[in-house]
Each structure stands twice: as structure tokens, then as C-alpha cells.
């Protein structure tokens, strides 16, 4: 029987940057819940919220912190920036300067004493620089900024630095179950009932060097040994498990390094998976950024097919519902389980990198986003993915990871009549909600995802949690906020989606239209997703083809080729490979070019800013159309990486459009704008430079200008 996996992989790839409205329409179509069920889910969720609010005094200190410091105020943002940046600052002086800048931007005082939680106040005081209660001066209320300035200058930045780090440590204690796996296991057992399930996460991700990766490998291996030593449970789904991040196990875990990843990273993951298998525990691969997905599917498929890992149901994948291709990945996982004759664990999450994904797609000028732009779309996707996973009980053990009461109520509704599954929550979060779940159904299985590690390794995780939880769209952000009624908080995702006519978020423009607010908007340079095999294949073809071309760069003045000294040019990456020939302009050629330029200048000046702007835009369009060959040329000539070459071309395109926009904004009266008639009629790749042949029509004069790597646009 032929496999359906390749076809499903192709569908996944085709949906990476799919049209959001089309995908969401399809999701609405697939959703099996009727109106009555949806109303029941909402009512159930409202009950959960009411019950949790009634005992909100028991909320964890972290929940209290988030209520006090969201990211919607200066202090929250300053705190995040500071904490995140501090770890990356190598020297104390710079750290102090950073603190001086950030801390003065916050109005810390307005938070003092507002929260009943001692933790919040402790962190406020921590941020108040000394770690002890500070008696406020009277003028604090009047002029906080100067007051802070005086305080910082009297205490000194080193004290501030210590205090901030201390505050971060307090906060870190909320999220991390233990500094070592032994401490975490011991604390986890003491803090929870005896049959509580854990998935331990050894903090650390994004290895930068092989030494980092080896260190993380050892930490995972030690952790697996320690978890196994705590004793076997009846089944792998009851047992404690481990969650790993592939980015921790290899410094080049990226699509461009696929071969290395498959030969170097895969054996490391397999070695850990074998340990987990022999210990009878679960082994989950956390989901990271979208551009890792394709590669992670290859690794996961290789593990699932591996004979040595057969007869074990502990292999786990994390599925992010906010990705437009999520439902297709769910189907691929089911098919993989069926074809390899095993049951897979699948943790369904919404996804923790939303801000990063949006920013990345905009920076890279992608055709569209890989994630949804409306929260309710991710919720609908979560709903459909849950349905798909629960419909394949033989192949999948679903694990629903969420802190959202509506998502919990959804799963309760979908599992009516008995299904095998578990809920998952993060250590330090969601316990109010899950206490209610367990109270309602004592058999409900809830696994705690428990980060383990030292303070320094916590921050990427911490910042992700706080960013996510501080967002207004996030459930936990308003969960305990008495100002928001449960009915407001818990809208049915399908109704909400339809209320926006299934359209993407109107405030989040497509990546190419990132600059819509300017009076004269310009298009973000078109990019190539270097982690998308479908986009990379034609690019590689063009780059390889450039290797066969022999380029010739020579001075052309007034359309006439000028003689000069000729030199062979070699690739700096491969010295033996000649990439072409360059003819150096003679003095006479330069004199002639200058003279012709001077002659053409008055007409060029008279022609006006709009025409010159249109020329620049035409150049940008031509470069965009020939982006692949330009990249190939830069790679061949300058020995650059494809990433760098792509950035270089995109930068040039952006410059052209930006300066065209500036010319229009500053030099053109709006009513006198003629249509966009660029007069650049040729963009030819001639060896070392790109020649723009610009013909001011009135003069029919040909002005050649060489555009080199760092081309400075001109008005
Ligand atoms: P909700 O408030 O219902 O959802 C918030 C989420 O909605 C955001 O995180 C984002 O995904 C999405 N969202 C927010 N705004 C928008 C928008 N404008 N458009 C589209 N979508 C939007 N995440 C990972 O990426 N990888 C993991 O391996 C992982 N493991 C986890 C393990 C556990 C046990 C838990 C509880 C979470 C894990 N997460 C992981 C985090 C998870 O993806 C969510 O970020 C987090 O749980 C919040 O989702 P929620 O359902 O609890 O809350």
C-alpha cells in the first residue's frame, strides 16, 4: 500500500503562508460542534471562571504579579526589557547604563501597595532598588522621574542591578520547580498529590555552540535517568516524562543545515529517546519557531520509523494550533502513527512565539504570516485540531495544554462519553482552574510541565511566558480581573470569528504592506522564506546557474563600451573559480562620463522629483523581479552566504522605495502627481555591478550608473 505521508507533507508545505480567510473558512466548515454544544461550553467556562474568582485570594504570586504588571504599562515593559537585556550584557558598566535608561522610564511608584500579594510588593521594592521598603519622599508623587533619577544616582547603578536581578530571581522561583532535577522531583512530589504527573523541562534552548549542545544533552540524559529512578508507573501515559527542545541539542538546528541536522542532531535525539524508552517514560519534543517545523517533522518521522524505538508509546510531538498548517500536521501525525504501528503522544498548544512570528515575517517580507492574526482564529484551529486528535484514539494520546477555561470546557465537551486524554498546565500557573477541573472530575488527568534549571537559563522562557500572559488578548491576563465580566471574557471563538467576517486582523497588514501609515506608503521588499523548501528550491537553482555564467563588467559611457585594463575576477569562497572579468575604467572614460553627466544634469533636474522617484521604484521592481539572479551573483562574486545576499538585495530595494517615498513626501505637491511611470528601462547584470540605464525621455540621453553593493540612491 502506498504511503499518504508524502502527500500530507506537501499539503503542510503548501499551507505555510496560506491565505488566512481561506484557512479559517475551512476550519469553520470542519468544526463539528452545534450551537447547543457551543453554548454549553461557554456556560461551563463561565462557571469555571466564577468559581476561580471566588477563591482568587489563593492565586499564585505569579498570577498576582501579572495582574499588577502586564505589558500594558511602562513598568512591565521596562522590566521585561531590562531582565531580558541584562542577561545579554557582558560587562557591568553597560548593564548599569542600561538600567539607568530603562528604570527611569517607569512610573514604579503607582504600583506600590496596590496588590495584596507580598510577592508583588517584594518585586516592586526590589525594583525600587534596595530590596527593602523605601520610604517615599513627598515629592515622589509630584515628579517621579526626577525622584527616581536622584535615587538611582544616590544608590548607584550596581545596587540597582543587584536589586533587579534579585527581583528576577524571586519571579523565577515561581516558574522553576527546582534548580536541579533531583530538587524538582522532590519538590514536585511534596507539593502535589502522589500520582501527579510531570513533564520536566531542562531549561535551555538555542544552543550557540557545540559545547552548549553537549552540555544540554548531558542535562537531558541526567534528567531522564533521575526521572526513571523515581519508579515505574502502570503505563507510559501515567509516568512522569521529559520535554526537550531540539534547538538545545544542536547549534545549527535550521533548515539550511538539514543534512548536518539529520546526521548530527538526529543521533543525539535518538540516544535520549532510547533512554526514555528503556525507562518507560514519555519523551516530548517541544514546538519552537515556525521555521523549524518542516525540519522537526523529518526528525520526528525518523524517530517514529526507527526499529529500535518501536513498541513504545512515549514518543511525543507538540502541535501549535496558531499555525495555519496545524490541522494538516495533525492529520500527518495520525497517518505517521498508523503507518508505523504505534501510538503517539500529541500535546496540543496554541503556540508561544506569536509576537516573534509576526515580527519575523514582516522583517523577512514574506508573502503572508505562518500564524493567524486573530486570537479567535487560533482558538477555532485549536477546536478543530482537538476534534481531529480525539477522533484517532488508536493512533494518538492527546494532551491538551492550556490555561484557558473555554479551551478546558471545550475538551470536556468533546470527550463526553469517555476518551483517553490528559490536560497539561505549566508549573506556577493555572492551578486555580485545574483544581476546579479535578474537583468536578476526580479522574481527570493533569500533567504539570515543570521547568528545571538555574536562574540564568530561565529568562527566554520567562520572557515568553510574561509576554504571552501580559498580552491583552490572552485569557490569563483578564482571568481574575473583576473589571472584566466572565461573559465578556468568554466569547465563543466561532461567533467572534464570524463577527469579523472571517477576515485577518485589520491592524496587522500583510508583511509586504508593513508601512501603511506613511503619507506615501511603500512596499516592504519581497523576501524569501529560507526555511520553506518550496521557496528555497527555485532560489538554489538560480544560484547554481550563476556559477556557470561568466560575467563581464565594463564601463559604458553614452551607450558605448569603453576600453580599459581587463582583470579576471575569482570567487573569494573558491579561489580557483573565475566568476568573470572586469574592465577598469580608464581616465578618459571617467572624464567622458563626468562630462556627459554634467550635460545631462539640467534636464535631469527639471524632470522633477516625481519622475526620479518613479525611476527608483522601477529599479526596485526590477531588482525584485531578478532577486534570484542577483543573489546568485552576490554569492558568486563576493562569496557571501545566501542569507546575507538576500538581505543585501532587499536592503537595496527598500532604499530605493524609501527614497522614492521621501522624494514624493518632500518635493511633490500631492495634486501634481502623475501616474507611476518609471523610466528605468533596463536592469542588466553585467559582471561586477548592476547598470541602471535611465533615459530621461525629453533628452533621449543615456546615463549609465554603476550600482555596487552599497549603492547610495540619489535624488
Ligand atoms: P489563551 O489566552 O487562550 O491563548 C493565548 C494564545 O493565543 C497565545 O499564546 C497565542 O498562541 C494565541 N494568540 C494570541 N494572540 C493572537 C493573535 N492576535 N492571533 C493569533 N493567535 C493569537 N508553546 C509552544 O509554542 N511550544 C510548546 O512546546 C509549548 N508547551 C506548552 C506546555 C504546556 C503544559 C502549556 C500549558 C503551554 C505550552 N506552550 C507551548 C504555550 C502555549 O502555546 C500557549 O502559548 C499558552 O498556553 C497560552 O495559551 P492558552 O490556551 O493557555 O491561553
With a 6 A CB cut-off, is 497 part of the ligand 1 pocket? no
With a 6 A CB cut-off, is 473 part of the ligand 1 pocket? yes
| Mean confidence (pLDDT) of the chain | 83
With a 6 A CB cut-off, is 468 part of the ligand 1 pocket? yes
For residue 228, what pLDDT is reported?
94
Nearest CA to ligand 1 atom 47: 402
For residue 132, what pLDDT is reported?
37
For residue 666, what pLDDT is reported?
84
Q: What is the DSSP letter of 371?
A: B
For residue 706, what pLDDT is reported?
34
CA of 401 to the centre of ligand 1 (A): 8
Atom of ligand 1 nearest to the CA of 424: 34
What is the mean predicted confidence (pLDDT) over 155-175? 65
pLDDT over 50 (residue 714): no
With a 6 A CB cut-off, is 351 part of the ligand 1 pocket? yes
Atom of ligand 1 nearest to the CA of 321: 11
Express each pLDDT in 380-428 by its tens digit. Answer: 999 999 999 999 999 999 999 999 999 999 999 999 988 999 999 998 8
Instruction: Lowest mean pLDDT of 228-232, 288-292, 378-382, name the range.
Output: 228-232
Instruction: Give 473's pLDDT tier (boundaries 50, 70, 90).
Output: confident
CA of 292 to the centre of ligand 1 (A): 17
Say how far apart CA 60 and CA 250 lie, in whole Å: 35
Instruction: Give 250's pLDDT tier (boundaries 50, 70, 90).
Output: very high
Say how far apart CA 361 and CA 16 lie, in whole Å: 12
Q: What is the pTM of this model?
A: 0.84
Contact predicate 715/652, CB 8 Å: no
What is the mean predicted confidence (pLDDT) over 178-182? 89
Instruction: Give 5's pLDDT tier (boundaries 50, 70, 90).
Output: very high
Instruction: Lowest mean pLDDT of 138-147, 514-523, 638-647, name the range.
Output: 138-147
Say how far apart CA 663 and CA 660 lie, in whole Å: 5
Instruction: Give 146's pLDDT tier (boundaries 50, 70, 90).
Output: low
For residue 657, what pLDDT is reported?
93
CA of 405 to the centre of ligand 1 (A): 13
For residue 62, what pLDDT is reported?
58
Q: Beta partners for 565?
A: 584
Nearest Cα to Cα of residue 223 among 193, 248, 250 = 248
Contact predicate 333/285, CB 8 Å: no
Could you give the percent of the chain with pLDDT greater than 70?
A: 76
With a 6 A CB cut-off, is 450 part of the ligand 1 pocket? no
pLDDT over 90 (residue 461): no
Say how far apart CA 215 and CA 367 lie, in whole Å: 38
Here the cell at position 470 is 501580559
Amino acid at each position: 500500500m502506498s504511503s499518504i505521508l508524502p502527500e500530507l507533507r506537501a499539503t503542510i508545505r503548501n499551507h505555510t503562508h496560506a491565505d488566512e480567510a481561506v484557512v479559517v473558512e475551512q476550519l469553520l466548515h470542519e468544526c463539528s460542534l452545534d450551537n447547543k454544544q457551543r453554548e454549553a461550553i461557554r456556560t461551563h467556562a463561565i462557571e469555571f471562571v466564577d468559581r476561580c474568582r471566588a477563591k482568587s485570594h489563593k492565586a499564585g504570586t505569579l498570577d498576582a504579579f501579572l495582574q499588577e504588571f502586564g505589558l500594558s504599562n511602562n513598568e512591565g515593559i521596562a522590566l521585561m526589557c531590562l531582565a531580558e537585556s541584562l542577561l545579554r550584557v557582558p560587562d557591568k558598566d553597560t548593564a548599569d547604563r542600561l538600567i539607568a535608561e530603562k528604570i527611569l522610564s517607569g512610573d514604579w511608584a503607582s504600583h506600590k501597595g496596590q496588590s495584596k500579594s507580598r510577592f508583588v510588593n517584594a518585586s516592586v521594592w526590589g525594583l525600587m532598588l534596595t530590596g527593602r521598603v523605601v520610604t517615599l519622599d513627598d515629592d515622589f508623587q509630584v515628579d517621579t522621574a526626577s525622584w527616581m533619577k536622584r535615587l538611582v544616582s544616590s544608590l548607584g547603578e550596581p545596587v540597582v542591578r543587584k536589586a533587579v536581578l534579585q527581583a528576577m530571581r524571586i519571579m523565577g522561583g515561581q516558574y522553576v520547580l527546582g534548580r536541579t532535577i533531583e530538587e524538582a522531583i522532590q519538590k514536585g512530589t511534596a507539593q502535589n498529590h502522589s500520582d501527579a504527573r510531570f513533564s520536566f523541562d531542562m531549561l535551555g534552548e538555542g544552543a550557540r555552540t557545540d559545547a552548549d549542545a553537549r552540555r544540554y544533552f548531558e542535562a537531558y540524559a541526567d534528567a531522564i535517568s533521575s526521572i526513571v529512578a523515581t519508579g515505574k508507573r502502570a503505563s507510559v501515559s501515567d509516568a512522569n516524562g521529559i520535554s526537550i527542545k531540539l534547538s538545545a541539542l544542536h547549534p545549527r538546528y535550521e533548515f539550511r543545515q538539514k543534512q548536518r541536522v539529520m546526521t548530527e542532531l538526529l543521533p543525539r535525539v535518538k540516544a535520549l529517546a532510547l533512554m526514555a524508552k528503556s525507562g518507560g517514560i514519555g519523551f516530548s519534543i517541544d514546538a519552537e519557531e515556525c521555521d523549524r517545523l518542516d525540519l522537526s517533522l523529518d526528525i520526528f518521522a525518523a524517530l517514529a520509523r526507527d526499529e529500535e524505538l518501536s513498541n513504545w508509546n512515549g514518543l511525543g510531538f507538540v502541535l501549535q494550533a496558531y499555525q495555519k498548517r496545524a490541522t494538516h500536521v495533525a492529520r500527518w501525525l495520525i497517518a505517521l502513527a498508523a503507518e508505523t504501528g504505534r501510538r503517539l503522544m500529541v500535546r496540543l498548544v496554541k503556540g508561544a512565539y506569536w509576537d516573534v512570528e509576526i515580527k519575523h515575517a514582516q522583517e523577512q517580507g514574506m508573502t503572508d504570516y505562518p500564524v493567524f492574526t486573530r486570537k479567535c482564529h487560533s482558538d477555532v484551529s485549536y477546536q478543530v485540531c482537538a476534534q481531529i486528535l480525539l477522533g484517532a484514539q488508536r493512533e494518538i494520546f492527546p494532551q491538551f495544554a492550556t490555561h484557558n477555561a473555554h479551551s478546558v470546557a471545550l475538551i470536556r465537551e468533546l470527550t463526553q462519553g469517555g476518551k483517553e486524554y490528559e490536560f497539561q498546565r505549566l508549573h506556577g500557573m493555572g492551578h486555580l482552574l485545574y483544581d476546579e477541573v479535578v474537583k468536578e472530575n476526580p479522574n481527570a488527568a493533569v500533567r504539570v510541565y515543570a521547568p528545571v534549571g538555574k536562574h540564568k537559563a530561565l529568562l527566554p522562557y520567562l520572557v515568553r511566558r510574561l509576554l504571552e500572559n501580559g498580552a491583552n488578548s490572552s485569557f490569563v491576563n483578564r482571568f481574575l480581573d473583576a473589571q472584566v465580566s466572565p461573559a465578556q471574557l468568554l466569547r465563543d471563538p466561532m461567533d467572534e470569528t464570524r463577527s469579523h467576517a472571517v477576515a485577518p486582523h485589520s491592524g496587522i497588514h500583510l508583511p509586504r504592506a508593513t508601512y501603511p501609515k506613511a503619507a506615501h506608503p511603500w512596499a516592504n521588499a519581497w523576501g524569501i522564506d529560507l526555511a520553506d523548501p518550496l521557496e528555497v528550491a527555485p532560489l538554489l537553482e538560480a544560484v547554481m546557474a550563476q556559477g556557470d555564467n561568466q560575467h563581464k563588467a565594463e564601463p559604458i559611457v553614452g551607450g558605448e563600451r569603453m576600453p580599459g585594463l581587463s582583470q579576471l575576477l575569482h570567487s573569494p569562497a573558491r579561489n580557483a573559480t573565475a566568476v568573470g572579468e572586469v574592465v577598469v575604467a580608464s581616465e578618459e572614460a571617467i572624464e567622458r562620463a563626468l562630462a556627459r553627466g554634467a550635460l545631462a544634469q539640467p534636464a535631469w533636474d527639471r524632470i522633477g522629483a516625481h519622475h526620479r522617484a518613479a525611476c527608483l521604484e522601477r529599479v526596485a521592481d526590477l531588482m525584485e523581479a531578478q532577486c534570484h539572479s542577483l543573489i546568485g551573483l552576490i554569492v558568486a562574486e563576493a562569496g557571501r552566504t545566501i542569507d546575507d545576499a538576500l538581505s543585501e538585495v532587499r536592503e537595496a530595494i527598500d532604499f530605493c522605495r524609501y527614497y522614492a517615498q521621501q522624494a514624493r513626501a518632500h518635493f511633490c505637491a500631492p495634486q501634481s502627481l502623475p501616474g507611476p511611470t518609471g523610466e528605468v528601462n533596463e536592469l542588466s547584470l553585467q559582471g561586477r555591478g548592476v547598470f541602471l540605464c535611465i533615459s530621461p525621455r525629453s533628452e533621449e540621453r543615456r546615463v549609465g550608473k554603476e550600482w555596487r553593493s552599497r549603492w547610495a540612491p540619489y535624488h
